[in-house]
Amino acid sequence: MVTCALPLLSDKMAVAAGSGCLRPGVGTEIILPGVKVPRNFRLLEELEEGQKGVGDGTVSWGLEDDEDMTLTRWRGMIIGPPRTIYENRMYSLKVECGPRYPEAPPFVRFVTKINLNGVHNSNGVVDTRAVSALAKWQNSYSIRVVLQELRRLMMCKENMKLPQPPEGQIYTN
Amino acid sequence: MEDNGGEDPVNNNNNTTVSSEGSIIKVTVKTPKDKEEIAISEDASVTQFKEEISRRFKAKQDQLVLIFAGKILKDGDSLNQHGIKDGLTVHLVIKTAHKAGDGASSSTSCTSQVGSSSGSSSGPSSAAHSSSVGSTGGPVSAPPQTPNILTGFGDLSSLSSMGMGSANFMELQQQMQSQLMSNPEMLSQIMENPLVQNMMSNPDLMRQMIVANPQMQQLMERNPEISHMLNNPELMRQTMELARNPAMMQEMMRNQDRALSNLESIPGGYNALRRMYTDIQEPMFSAARDQFGNNPFSALGGNSDGGVQPSRTENREPLPNPWGPPSSTDPSEGGGGTGTTGSSTAGSTNPSVSNPLAVNSASLGNGMFSSPGMQSLMQQISENPQLMQNMLSAPYMRSMMQSLAQNPDMASQNPASSPSTGTNPAQQLMMQQMLQMFAGGNASSQTPEVQFQQQLEQLGAMGFINREANLQALIATGGDVNAAIERLLGSQPS
């Protein structure tokens, strides 16, 4: 059905001030400026969102260990976007929210082996400078935002065709 | 205050309805496209959960991958272990062995039940059919004895059972497109759909789709700029951003329109625009829209073909002054050997050097003809007799003339009877011939006052008492009462 709409749109090829692939999302909570939400509040909220499946269902996150009272260690899952080399694969990640979260960005690393720009090949650690959500972290961002950003990276032209290791391999360290 | 010992108010098993152990919880299972609520026992294992899901989503159990809170649920685990409780959401991914677009294997696996020859009959529209065949595999395989014809019908019937009712994929596409055009909401709805947006965010896919259109391919051959445009991924991406955001799109269109109208006002700009249009946009337009039949610009474009020679040169003629008094140059000046530069047609405009046919541009009237571009075109044509011949001999001109004829303002008066042509019989004859060709003529012999009498009366009845002003307005608008009123109101002090 989009093929029908396309020729109509292609008539007016204008050069817009384009935005690239990267555009971190903003959380949907009501943010009052100047109010600092305590860390645990935030993390509990994110926990709930993770369990309720807020978002489009392409990423998932939750506590690694349900008994973890510090809410530090989290697990994330990214479903490989369609029509890319990552399609049909599930990528597991570890997310660590330090004591200064949400003022400081979390540490993210892939558990499932992946070939993606910005992810270290040896250990799956995500380079903070490569992901704009981490590089320009704001306290309104969340784990979901980071995961969605990584997913968007997978859809970028430079990444979507990178050859991938066989499915199911994980980083050992 | 009797303590009712039997009932424990803090009983956890309030909602026990089934005999299985534990209570039933309702878990939402979400796929990127779908969402279902599944009731399952709290103590169930992941395997049992998957059984239920495979039934509901009609997929095989081993194709299901469940994710909760960032962890994959393995078959050996239990729901409890992962903390899955009532009202929570589990993500589901159904692993397909092959992509949805590639229907070959699914259709062969389905039609193999009905006979191997059916594959060929569903060949042409297999893309459309494969998904439907896959899902309605059951009913289609019902009559296994008659392959070929019946399976052909079977495929079609399954399509129609999907509610589309059209056998031909092209037709389908056309219908879709016309629906889309008539219903802008639907278009925006389609754009909102995350699936569509996903597809649109893939520049390669878009490119393939565009290139697949054979007319587009032709166009690309003719105009290398277009293929260059398509090959530029940055541009594609930006265009898709644009396409995704209808508000931005409108803004862009508005800017472009403004730019175009600016261009038009530059001398010679109109011709440049027309050139650009015929070279690039018209074929693109027709390629995209010929399913509709009506290229809205085709009439205009067809007209300009007749005038294509003079359009290559800059039009230096001053545009006619629609409000000014008829130019009073010597009417017989144009008389000469050439036929078309004959004397006056005794229209409301006396012929001038540049306007020998006394084409009263104002009276040519409504719509596109009253654009200054069109008027200048007419003038150029009237200057160049050869061109006139060419133009008139073209078939589409005849139809245009006929439509002109139907315009009541251009009553087919016989100008030959007018006093000014009486002096020269040759010219008179010429005029008659001209008029025959014009099939109805394009200027009336009456003075504007008489010509617009009815409209003048209307205006008078409405309260516009200044006959002079009314007349001017009517002349300017070619007899259009509404437009004349606007003009009058615009010029009157409040």
Percent of chain A scoring above 70 in pLDDT: 80
Write the DSSP assignment of A4-71 as a string of letters.
Answer: HHHHHHHT---------S-------S---TTPPPPHHHHHHHHHHHHHHT-SSSSEEEEESSTT-TT-
Residue-level length of chain A: 173
Position A72 scores a pLDDT of: 93
Which residue, B265, B290, B315, sits at the end of a domain?
B290
Kindly state whether residue B336 falls inside one of the protein's structural domains.
Answer: no
**In degrees, to the nearest 5, what angle opens at C-alpha B460 toward C-alphas B454 and B462?**
110
Nearest to B243 by CA among A20, A12, A160, A151: A12
Position B368 scores a pLDDT of: 42
CATH number, domain A39-155:
3.10.110.10
CA distance B33 to chain A (A): 9
Q: Out of B32, B235, B243, name the one closest to residue A15 (CB).
A: B235
> What residue in A sits closest to B200 (Cα-Cα)?
A2
Which residue, B290, B318, B338, sits at the end of a domain?
B290
C-alpha–C-alpha distance, residues B39 and B153, integer Å: 40
What ranges do the domains of chain A cover? 39-155
DSSP symbol at B320 = P
Q: How many CB pairs under 8 A join A and B?
A: 150
Contacts of A83 in chain B (CB under 8 A): 198-199, 202, 205
Which residue, B71, B94, B117, sits at the end of a domain?
B94
Contacts of A81 in chain B (CB under 8 A): 198
In the block, residue with structure tokens 């009609």: B58
Q: Out of B28, B176, B201, name the one closest to residue A53 (CB).
A: B28
Kindly state whether residue B196 falls inside one of the protein's structural domains.
Answer: yes
Q: Taking the mean position of all CA atoms in its chain, how far away is CA B288?
A: 8
Q: Does B177 touch chain A (CB under 8 A)?
A: yes
CA distance A34 to chain B (A): 31
C-alpha–C-alpha distance, residues B287 and B404, integer Å: 29
Position A71 scores a pLDDT of: 92
Residue-level length of chain B: 494
Residue contact A58–B32, C-beta within 8 A: yes
Number of folded domains in chain B?
Answer: 3
Q: Taking the mean position of all CA atoms in its chain, how far away is CA A86?
A: 14
Interface of B with A in 46-75 (CB under 8 A): 65, 67-72
* Dihedral sign from CA coordinates of B462, B465, B471, B476: negative
Position B223 scores a pLDDT of: 67
Tell me the pLDDT tens digit for each residue of A78-128. 999 988 999 888 999 999 999 999 899 999 999 999 999 999 999 999 999
pLDDT tens for each residue of chain B, 494 residues long: 444 444 444 444 444 444 445 789 999 888 888 888 999 998 889 999 999 999 888 888 888 889 888 888 888 888 888 888 898 989 888 887 644 333 333 333 333 333 333 334 333 333 333 333 333 333 333 333 444 443 444 444 444 444 444 445 555 556 666 665 556 566 566 666 666 666 666 666 666 776 666 766 776 677 676 667 666 766 666 766 666 666 677 777 888 888 777 777 777 767 777 777 677 666 666 655 554 444 444 444 444 443 344 445 566 667 767 776 654 444 333 333 333 333 333 334 444 444 444 444 444 434 444 445 555 656 665 566 665 565 555 555 555 555 555 544 444 444 433 444 444 455 555 555 555 555 444 444 556 678 788 888 888 888 888 888 888 888 888 888 888 888 888 865 54
Position B357 scores a pLDDT of: 44
| HSE-up of residue B248 (Cα within 13 Å, Cβ side) | 17
In this prediction, the residues of chain A whose per-residue pLDDT falls under 70 are 1-34, 173
The CATH number that applies at residue B29 is 3.10.20.90
Domain that holds residue B273: 177-290
Cut 0.80: pTM above it: no
Kindly state whether residue B189 falls inside one of the protein's structural domains.
Answer: yes
Nearest to B311 by CA among B326, B298, B301, B321: B301
Q: Out of B83, B176, B285, name the one closest to residue A11 (CB).
A: B285
Q: Does B304 touch chain A (CB under 8 A)?
A: no
First to last CA, chain A: 47
Kindly state whether residue B405 falls inside one of the protein's structural domains.
Answer: no
The CATH number that applies at residue B453 is 1.10.8.10
Nearest to B178 by CA among B298, B291, B286: B291
CA distance B88 to chain A (A): 5
CA distance A129 to chain B (A): 23
Structure tokens at B429: 């004859």
Contacts of A151 in chain B (CB under 8 A): none
> What residue in B sits closest to A7 (Cα-Cα)?
B288
Over the range B186-196, which residues count as b (16 or more CB within 10 Å of their CB) and which as e?
ebeebbeeeeb
Q: Out of B181, B256, B285, name the one closest to residue A14 (CB).
A: B256
Residues paired with residue B24 on neighbouring β-strands, in sequence order: B41
Kindly state whether residue B4 falls inside one of the protein's structural domains.
Answer: no
